[in-house]
Amino acid sequence: MMSIKTIYQLGSLRSLVNRIAARALTSSTTMSSNQSEVKPFESIPGPGGIYKWPIIGTLLHYKPFTRHTPETLQEFLNEQFDKYGPVVKLRLGPTVVVLSDPKDMETVFRHEGKYPKRPQIEIQTIYYKRTGIREDLGHLQGPAWHALRAPLNRRLLKADSATLYLEQQNEVADDFVKILASKNLSPEELEDMFYRYAAESIAVVTFNKRLGLFDPNPDKISIQIIEASKAVMIASQDSLLGKSVAHKWYKNSTYKMIEKAIGTIRR
């Protein structure tokens, strides 16, 4: 079983997954170019019956109905791959198709087209609709997304683009390693340091500067952004994995968390 896993949300991938499904449902390791041999989307294996129901189908994958929690999603997916094969269809919030074979993942990316349907995090989409705030690059679709993304592609998708930031990234990594080597960090402190490392690494690319998050007394605004980023991650995960459902209809605690956090980041 391959250790690399990924999830693709049901949408424009339907026709593509029809082709990939043929690979999972036959003993052949290659996909025939004869479209008459392609299995229908509905033939993709996965949990059936009540497990296909909206909301309920997702909840049944977790405790108290199984041993799993959203935090053990990877173990749950491994079990599904063992049971159904390298292509699985199941309810994880929306209906999703999950792939385990990197070759299938490559097929998806090579056939996504000029305007790929990019899965959205539901609670963030709801936030933008409720507030009327203009969506950012991470949430735009179609031509609007392409207009902003294309200029970045010309620079960032070159084979040697990473070397432009190698010196700065090495400095961030060295500072991070020094902290790990000099301090006995608790799991919570270590998690916080990984957030800071990620933010520093991103900042040298997007802002061409360091944020000072490894300094003894970091800037207050930088700390606020880090804490807000954590909150966005937590709320998004709760939404994605079905731990929060009511945010669809009213501003529950999870929605209020992400609303406050995104507001902090955007101001």
Q: Tell me: pLDDT of 196 over 70.
A: yes
pLDDT at 186 over 90: yes
**Residues 160-183 pLDDT 10s:** 888 888 999 999 999 999 999 999
Confidence bin at 255 (pLDDT 50/70/90): very high
Is the pLDDT at 19 greater than 60, yes or no? no
- At residue 18, the pLDDT reads 44
The per-residue pLDDT for range 48-68, each reduced to its tens digit, is 999 888 888 888 888 899 898
Per-residue pLDDT of 4-16, as tens digits, reads: 333 333 333 344 4
The pLDDT, as a whole number, for residue 238 is 87
Please name the residues in contact with 127: beta carbons below 8 A apart, sequence gap of 6 or more: 133, 255, 258, 259, 262
Predicted pLDDT at 81? 95
Kindly report, residue by residue over 105-156, the tens digit of the pLDDT. Answer: 999 888 888 898 888 888 999 999 999 998 888 889 999 999 998 988 887 7
Q: Give the per-residue pLDDT at 159.
A: 77
Helix axes 122-131 and 253-266, enclosed angle (nearest 10): 70
Q: What's the mean pLDDT in 20-45?
A: 59
pLDDT tens digits along 216-242: 889 898 899 889 999 999 999 888 777
**Of 101 and 3, the one with more pLDDT:** 101
Confidence of residue 69 (pLDDT cuts 50, 70, 90): confident
The pLDDT value given to residue 138:
84
pLDDT band (50, 70, 90) for residue 36 = low
List the structure tokens of 135: 């969506």
SS3 of residue 137 by DSSP:
coil
The string over 75-105, giving b where at least 16 C-beta atoms fall within 10 Å of a residue's C-beta and e elsewhere, is ebbbebbeebbbbbbbbbbebbbbbbbeebb
Give me the pLDDT at residue 35, please: 53
Show the tokens assigned to 217: 């007394």
